[in-house]
Chains A and B, each alone.
Chain A
Amino acid sequence: MAINTKNQIAELSGDAITLEERTPFQIVMRRFRRHKLAMAALVVISVILIITILAPYIAPFDVQEIRVGDYFVPFGAVDEETGRIHYLGTDNIGRDYFSRLIFAGRISLAVAFLSVIISETIGIVVGSTSGFYGKWLDAVLMRFVEFMLTIPSLPLLLIISSMLLANEALIPIPPVVLNVVGKIMLLGPRDTRSAVLIVLVLSGLGWMGSAQLMRGMILSLREQTFVEASRSLGASNIWIILRHMIPNAMAPIIVSASLGLAGYVVAEAALAFLGFGIQDPVPTWGNMLSGTQTYMFDRPWLPLVPGLPIFICSLSFNYIGDGLRDALDPRLKL
């Protein structure tokens, strides 16, 4: 049976199936682009993100500048002193509503993104440890996750955040963190501190879903032959988790992260609305809403203006999540 193997191999080398798309990333991108609603949502979110990132350059007025007498100025009114325009008028104490709105977006979105990053990280670590090592560790971790899930989160959120905000020394936050977050949100150290606490509270109560998701993925990946192959090459557990399991489990995690963003935008708003979040005079969409709710009937635009971006962002993140879910699911032919 010893045919000329050299020739045979030369023949074989040419028969690779050639596909246009190369990397899984390119395939996912192509599939995602076909999801119209998700693409539209991505555009909307990108526009909002760009506006909030450029907030210091776009905002015509200082966020905290109070114009005595200029209360409830209507949309598009021109400021007589400087000639600048109040695009969205002013609020009940004479602050430019448009400037506040875009700075608020910067803070609200930063809180949401940071919360998602932290909670997904906790979820990935806890979930993969639990799924990979199994046995009693799995049992203990998963019972803890279930215990956390049974606690009604809003009351707990309120209690914890009010406790933390009242006692500054309760959780020491490294100055580096305060510095970086302060730069992102453009806040002073004191306000940054409360923003960081809000992020910690939100992500501390929001990681359980992704932990369960990750555990499930790891449990199914653990039985895959390529994991066994890696082990037979001498790879350690950490190597296998980092190089094989997490990349393969990323798809549902990305989806849950984008859906999580929607949840955190709303949760931050809810917290602020109830008066336990980041406090006035620092603007967030939530506290702008709560600060103006009393004018709901005579000047309805005041609560509606900050309510709209909350609604749009949460809707858009949900659509993006849906689009990603479809794009990342290899069984779905699009």
Chain B
Amino acid sequence: MSKPVTRKESPKRDLVIVKNLVKYFPVRAGLLQRVTAWVQAVDDISFTIREGETFGLVGESGCGKTTIGRTMLRLIEPTSGSVTFDGQEVFALRGREMKEMRRNMQVIFQDPYASLDPRMPIGESVMEGLNVHGIGTPRERYENMLEILKKVGLEDYHARRYPHEFSGGQRQRIGIARALALFPKFIVCDEPVSALDVSIQSQVLNILKDLQSEFGLTYMFIAHNLSVVEHISDRVGVMYVGKMVELTGREELYENPLHPYSKALMSAIPIADPTVKRERTLLKGDVPSPLNPPKGCRFHPRCPVAIDKCSLEEPLFKEVKADHWVACWLQ
């Protein structure tokens, strides 16, 4: 059994490199189920995630953040692009190789109830990864499972119980335990706290943080709650309708956002001080449909500072400052 790894000294190494990732979903209609249109869920996105860090991904509902996570794990097949994990091209792997790769990258889902099999005792669910990969003897797997349950604050006797016997927070901790059981290097956390009570959210976030330092985990943390992302992330990417518009360190983003969309988002975070007044950037209109996104910059119809060029040409995603990437013509 692999031992808990202590955090590497130089966290600068790129663990995951996503290049030009594209995922279009076909829209079928009619008797022959012909493809009539494409939902451009993720359109040409590139970023890197460094070893040991937490990479936050924020954006409105339907902007494609969950699709990115699932495509990276090949829970959905990509349309094009590449994902390199630890030097290995994930999309080129087949069969056995992919199965081995899955030991390295795991996922925690948004809905902790739906992600657990209602007819399986939770111990069995947590052990499933070990069973699938045939790691150790049945006895060792069982011992491992109990140890991992303890790590997320559950006891031995919980292992025999079924998901319906647990509260939401407990279920999410079971989900974390399941992801952890294979000792992965990288975990995609797909809105792991947005289905939970606010009081439980911080509990789960703290467990995630503790496990990260104990096992040297790398997270990709998908969320729409900006305060949660600020609490947990090292670097943050901001998405808008299938595109990444800004990517930088957490502090830089929250103090000095450059893209007009990020600015509007940041100004919407509530401050727990009624005496503080600040300028709020209110956006007009609705989020465009990824079925038929606007030409040029996808944000231009709602942008308060758009110029003519914005509606004609798509801005490049470029590094305007050290470690600060923006896709905007005004930068």
Cβ contact of A232, chosen from B73, B119, B125, cutoff 8 A:
B73
Interface window among A110-118, A163-171, A233-241: A233-241
- A196-255 contacts to B, CB under 8 A, are 224-226, 228-236, 239, 243-244, 247-248
Interface centre among A13, A18, A244, A247 (most CB of B within 10 A): A13
Q: Does A176 sit at the interface, judged by CB under 8 A?
A: no
Contacts of A8 in B (CB 8 A): 153, 203, 206
Residues in A neighbouring B203, C-beta threshold 8 A: 8, 12
The main secondary structure of chain A at its interface with chain B is helix
Contacts of A243 on B, CB cut-off 8 Å? Answer: 120, 128
Partner-contacting stretch, out of B158-166, B255-263, B280-288, B302-310: B158-166
A225 contacts B115, C-beta separation under 8 Å? yes
User: Are B119 and A224 touching (Cβ within 8 A)?
Assistant: no
Q: Which of B206-255 contact A (CB under 8 A)?
A: 206-207, 209-210, 231
B153 and A12 form a contact (CB under 8 A): yes
Measured CB to CB, the closest approach of chain B to A218, in angstroms, equals 14
Question: Quick one: closest B residue to A12, CB to CB?
Answer: B153
Q: Is the CB of B170 within 8 A of A3?
A: no
Interface residues of B in 68-125 (CB under 8 A from A): 70, 73, 75, 98-100, 102-103, 106-107, 109, 111, 114-120, 125
Q: How far is the CB of A185 from chain B (nearest CB, A)?
A: 35
A14 nearest CB neighbor, chain B only: B155
B182 is an interface residue with CB less than 8 A from chain A:
yes
Indicate whether A150 reaches chain B with its CB closer than 8 angstroms.
Answer: no
**Known A-B contacts A1-B231, A5-B206, A248-B118; A232 and B166 likewise in contact (beta carbons under 8 Å):** no
Contact assessment for B153 and A9 in the assembled complex, using a CB-CB cutoff below 8 Å: yes
A101 to chain B, nearest CB (A): 41
Which stretch of A19-27, A257-265, A298-306, A319-327 is in the interface?
Answer: A19-27
Q: Which residues of A contact B114 (CB under 8 A)?
A: 224-226
Across the interface, do B170 and A16 meet the contact criterion of CB distance under 8 Å?
Answer: yes
Contact partners of B109 in chain A: CB under 8 A: 225, 228-229
Tell me, yes or no, whether B29 is within 8 Å of chain A by CB. no
Are the C-beta atoms of A232 and B102 separated by less than 8 Å?
A: yes
Q: How far is the CB of A216 from chain B (nearest CB, A)?
A: 18
A232 engages B165 (CB within 8 Å): no
A226 and B117 in contact, given A13-B153, A22-B160, A232-B106 (Cβ under 8 angstroms): yes
Contacts of B165 in A (CB 8 A): 16-19
Give complex CA distance A9, B109 in Å.
21
- B167 proximity list for chain A (CB < 8 A): 15, 17
Q: Which residues of B contact A10 (CB under 8 A)?
A: 153
Q: Which chain B residue shows the least CB distance to A3?
A: B206
- The reply on B6 being an interface residue by CB < 8 A is no
Given the complex of chains A and B, what is the CA–CA distance between A24 and B120 in angstroms? 9
Question: Would you give the shortest CB distance from A135 to chain B, in whole angstroms?
Answer: 10
Complex Cα spacing A3 to B205, Å: 12
Return chain A residues, CB-CB under 8 Å to B128: 230, 233, 235, 243
Distance between Cα atoms of A9 and B119 in the complex (Å): 26
Tell me if A248 and B75 are in contact (CB < 8 A).
no
A234 and B117 form a contact (CB under 8 A): no
List residues of chain B with CB within 8 A of the CB of A332. Answer: none
- Cα A5 to Cα B202 in complex, Å, equals 11
Chain B CB within 8 A of A2 CB? yes
Please measure, in the bound complex, the distance between the C-alpha atom of A243 and the C-alpha atom of B129, giving whole angstroms.
13
Instruction: Assess whether A17 is in contact with B166, with CB atoms less than 8 Å apart.
Output: yes
In the bound assembly, the distance between CA atoms of A236 and B134 in angstroms comes to 13
**Does B178 make an interface contact (CB < 8 A)?**
yes
A19 to chain B, nearest CB (A): 6
User: Which residues in A have their C-beta under 8 angstroms from that of B206?
Assistant: 1-3, 5, 8
- Chain B residues with CB under 8 Å of A23's CB are 162
Which of B132, B158, B210 contacts A239, CB < 8 Å? B132
Residues of B within 8 A of A1 (CB): 202, 205-206, 231
Q: Are A16 and B166 neighbours in the complex by a CB distance under 8 Å? A: yes
Report the minimum CB–CB distance from A245 to chain B (whole Å).
10
Confirm or deny: B295 has a beta carbon within 8 angstroms of a beta carbon on chain A.
no
Query: What B residues does A225 contact at CB under 8 A?
Result: 109, 111, 114-115
> Is A248 touching B119 in the complex (CB atoms < 8 A)?
yes
The reply to whether B207 and A5 contact each other, CB–CB distance below 8 Å, is: yes
Q: Which residue of A lies closest to B129 (CB)?
A: A233
Taking the closest CB of chain B, its distance from the CB of A14, in whole angstroms, is 8
| 27 pairs, A vs B, C-beta closer than 8 Å | A5-B206, A5-B210, A9-B207, A10-B153, A12-B173, A16-B166, A17-B167, A19-B165, A22-B162, A24-B119, A226-B115, A226-B116, A228-B109, A229-B116, A229-B178, A230-B128, A232-B73, A232-B75, A232-B102, A233-B106, A233-B129, A234-B102, A236-B99, A239-B132, A243-B120, A243-B128, A248-B119
- Chain B residues packing against A (C-beta within 8 Å): 70, 73, 75, 98-100, 102-103, 106-107, 109, 111, 114-120, 125, 128-129, 132-133, 152-155, 158, 160-162, 165-167, 169-170, 173, 175, 178, 182, 202-203, 205-207, 209-210, 231
| 8 other A-B residue contacts (CB within 8 Å) besides A230-B117, A232-B106 | A9-B152, A12-B169, A15-B167, A16-B154, A225-B115, A234-B133, A235-B128, A243-B128
